Amino acid sequence: MSSTVDTPGTTVAQRIAQALPRLTRSHRQVADYVLEHPLQVATLPIDELAAAVGVSVATANRFARALDFDGYATFRAELVRGFEQLVAPVERLRGNLERPSTVAEVFATALDESRRNIDATRQTLDYAACEAAVERIGKARSVYIAGFGASAWLAGLLQHGLDGSCSDVRLLSGVSGVTHAARTLMHAGPQDVFIALTFPRYLTDTVALAQIARSQECAVIALTDRPSSPLAPLAEVALYCQTETSYRPNCETSVLALIEALTSAVALRAPDPVQSAGRILHAVRPWLHGANGLPRGNAAGGGLVARVDDTFETSAPHGTAAGAGAKKKKASR
């Protein structure tokens, strides 16, 4: 069975093919450039296209008319059709550049947008989905995390946040590339969880890994922006985040806020969260500025360094040597 796919830019490509025999040499130059760079041309005003091809603005406009468009504006609108989500950040940035702003105004706008995105995310969050995500992560044998592009940095922060609460957290977006990530996922199974992060403009690598995770019967949790995201139909649980912004493709602030909320909930649901925090503190103690005076504590026994009366002492179960030592030290002050 064969199926046809309506590819963005197909109408323009068909018009070029039909008009090709009657196009002038300079028009064919423009046609070749359009066919090779349809997405780039969809973002270019007529003067920039003319400069890129090496023809005059008048020639670029006549090329559009030779394809039976009213002019360059309608030609570009047809080319953009289907690419809207991809070119939207470029168009927003172009619009902002056409309206000069001071540095103070840009700062204020960016911070306001971050606040609005976090508020919108909180107001539309499905708390049943949040509960399901926390439960699946808490029960997982292994947690696999993937995000590429800007989402790779967010995926790393998600791994960092879950690492203290989960026994095995693996970040798949590493220097070894997506093929190694695919190989790693072949070890995943029904006892595991795969968390995928992608936002407009969605990256196919993340979607492909989610498909592999599903084929391994691994639970898929999606952090994305809307139900129409390509990740949504692949996920057992989806957490949606508002990411609209004027200056960048996405607002990462709201995603980070959602990640912090998720990792905080997982940490509080984890068994012995205080003991886990103590082990982490013990592990990183040599690198903490000003921590040389901290007692080492018993990492295996979950000794936790606590601040009491502006001094640090190790809290340990009553009856242990460490606990007796702490009592004796306190009594001698």
Q: Summarize pLDDT for 158-205 with one digit per residue, the tens.
A: 999 999 899 999 999 887 889 999 999 999 999 999 999 999 888 999
| pTM of the shown model | 0.64
What CATH architecture applies to the domain 110-269? 3-Layer(aba) Sandwich (3.40)
pLDDT at 82 over 70: no
pLDDT at 1 over 60: no
Residue 203 is given by DSSP the state P
Exposure of 155 in the CB half-sphere (CA atoms within 13 A): 26
User: Does a cis peptide bond (omega within 30 degrees of 0) precede residue 201?
Assistant: yes
pLDDT average, residue stretch 109-117:
92
User: Does a cis peptide bond (omega within 30 degrees of 0) precede residue 136?
Assistant: no
- In the sheet that holds 143-147, the strands lie side by side as 169-171, 143-147, 193-197, 219-224, 237-240
Do domains 10-86 and 110-269 share one topology? The answer is: no
90 or 51, higher pLDDT: 51
Q: Convert the pLDDT of each residue in 298-325 to its tens digit.
A: 544 444 444 433 333 334 444 444 444 4
pLDDT at 209 over 60: yes
CATH number at 10-86: 1.10.10.10
Note the pLDDT of residue 248: 79
For all residues of the chain together, what is the average pLDDT? 82
Note the pLDDT of residue 312: 37
Note the pLDDT of residue 307: 41
141 or 323, higher pLDDT: 141
3-state secondary structure of 219: strand
Note the pLDDT of residue 250: 85
Note the pLDDT of residue 78: 83
Question: The tokens of 263 are what?
Answer: 């990792």
Note the pLDDT of residue 102: 87
Note the pLDDT of residue 100: 62
Domain boundary assignment for the chain: 10-86, 110-269, 273-331
Amino acid letter at 314? T
Note the pLDDT of residue 130: 96
Place of tokens 């909930």: 265
pLDDT at 135 over 60: yes
Q: H helices then E strands: how many in the chain?
A: 15, 7
